[in-house]
Amino acid sequence: MSKRAVAIVLATAMLITGGAWWAVSLAARTSVTAHFGATVGLFPGSDVRVLGMRVGSVTEVVPEGTRVRVEMRIDDGTPIPADAKAVAVAPSLVSDRYVQFTPVYEGGPELADGAVIPRERTATPLELDEINRNTDRTMRMLGPDGANEEGALSDFLDVQAANLGGHGAELNDMLHRLSQATSTLSGSKEDMFATVDNLQLFNRTLADSDQQVRRFNTQLSDTAAFLAAERGELGAALRELGPALSETAGFIRDNRAVLRTNVDHLQAVTQVLVDQKAALEEVTDLAPLGLSNLANTYDASTGSTRTRGNINELTHPPIVIVCKLLRQSPPERPVPPVLADACERIEPVVTGAVPLPSPAEAITSLEHGRAPDIPLPLVDAMRDTGTPHPGGGR
């Protein structure tokens, strides 16, 4: 093989290898399209960066009406967040610009090949010409053809200079304290957030209680209207209250000793009421029922009172009746144990030894024209022994 043929083969192999490398490198890069409002200083070949490090380049800049389409290629192995923003950054006022992706990828979906970043997620720096125009517009508005047409701005500056002159130390201290207050607020942001949360909870409670709040406001309005309608009477009452209070104060001042004596005596009366608290409670509980029963005993047709007594209790001997009355003593005044024990012992003996006839038996005897049998133990005992006695036993 001639040298010429070898050279052709080598050149062909180099071309094929270079083309393959170029194709592989293009296939390994991610294509991204971003729409900007303006791209001053941005050209094909400009850098694409993340955190200031070059990760790709701009391949095409195409104006499209009110926006500019920028085509970019990003090196393989450089992850970009799927919701990333593209910002045109100007290192200085006159240098070329580059595209910066933000934020840094920290996990999650990545920007896919062929992704499009809309204009809402892009930003461009303020142009020097626009800064100059805004500055010129501001100066004209503050100049003699604007706010200072009649010297108002100059007067304002003169007054401020006169007020602030010689107060540099105080201003410095104020700014220092303001900085400390800002630091305090920054350190208490958790408390501030908690306060905001509580306010939101309070507002939600008010919203949930809207009907009650409206009703309260309506009632408050009605009360205010009523007081407004009665303001004449209220004013007269307040005017009369003043002299009355003055007279009361004078009366207390003139009778201080007598009032002190009355209060001292009232203390004794109050102590008696405290000591008789249980009795007063019992009276309070039973008095309504007793008064009601008393009212029910009155017979308006005959002008008399009616009662229904328990006559059967009269069949007990007197000593037994006394014992029953003693058992009804209140708990705070119990019967002495000796007396209670004596009643327990005497009652069965007396009841069995001297039985009185019941009311029914007495009424039956009277209906038959004879007196009821009333036990006379001594006479019966004498009759049983045959001892003569004058008169009779009945």
| Residue range 43-77, pLDDT digits in tens | 999 999 999 899 999 999 999 989 999 999 999 88
Percentage above 70 pLDDT, the chain: 79
Residue 350's pLDDT band, with cuts at 50, 70 and 90, is: low
From CA 244, how far away is CA 112, in angstroms rounded? 91
- Residue 11 pLDDT > 80, yes or no? no
* Structure-model confidence comparison of residues 327 and 218, the more confident one: 218
Give pTM, 2 decimals: 0.35
Break the chain into its structural domains and give their ranges: 24-130, 197-229
From CA 29, how far away is CA 59, in angstroms rounded? 12
From CA 266, how far away is CA 272, in angstroms rounded? 10
- Dihedral over Cα of 37, 42, 46, 50: its sign: negative
Q: Are 123 and 93 in contact (CB under 8 A)?
A: no
* 392 contact partners, CB below 8 Å, separation of at least 6: none
Give me the mean pLDDT over the 218-231 stretch.
90
User: What pLDDT, on a 0 to 100 scale, did the predictor assign at position 239?
Assistant: 87
Residue 101's pLDDT band, with cuts at 50, 70 and 90, is: very high
Q: Would you state the structure tokens that stand for residue 180, as one six-digit string?
A: 């400390």
- Dihedral over Cα of 117, 119, 120, 124: its sign: positive
Give me the mean pLDDT over the 136-144 stretch.
84
User: What pLDDT, on a 0 to 100 scale, did the predictor assign at position 72?
Assistant: 94
- Residue 81 pLDDT > 90, yes or no? yes
Q: Would you state the structure tokens that stand for residue 327, as one six-digit string?
A: 């058992």
DSSP string, 278-306: HHHHHHHHHHHHHHHHHHHHEETTTTEE-
User: What pLDDT, on a 0 to 100 scale, did the predictor assign at position 77?
Assistant: 84
| Residue range 144-201, pLDDT digits in tens | 877 777 778 888 888 888 888 888 888 889 998 998 888 887 777 788 888 888 998 9
245 phi and psi, to 5 degrees?
-65, -40
61 exposure class (CB count in 10 Å sphere: 0-12, 13-18, 19+): middle
- Residue 274 pLDDT > 70, yes or no? yes
User: What pLDDT, on a 0 to 100 scale, did the predictor assign at position 354?
Assistant: 55
Q: Would you state the structure tokens that stand for residue 43, as one six-digit string?
A: 């050209």
- Residue 378 pLDDT > 50, yes or no? no
Q: Vertex 340, ends 334 and 345: CA angle to 5°? A: 170
Give me the mean pLDDT over the 348-374 stretch.
66
User: What pLDDT, on a 0 to 100 scale, did the predictor assign at position 381?
Assistant: 41
| Residue range 330-347, pLDDT digits in tens | 777 777 888 778 877 777
From CA 120, how far away is CA 36, in angstroms rounded? 9
Percentage above 90 pLDDT, the chain: 19
| Residue range 104-134, pLDDT digits in tens | 999 899 998 999 999 999 998 877 777 888 8
| Residue range 304-333, pLDDT digits in tens | 877 766 666 666 666 777 777 777 777 777
From CA 374, how far away is CA 100, in angstroms rounded? 130
User: What pLDDT, on a 0 to 100 scale, did the predictor assign at position 48?
Assistant: 94
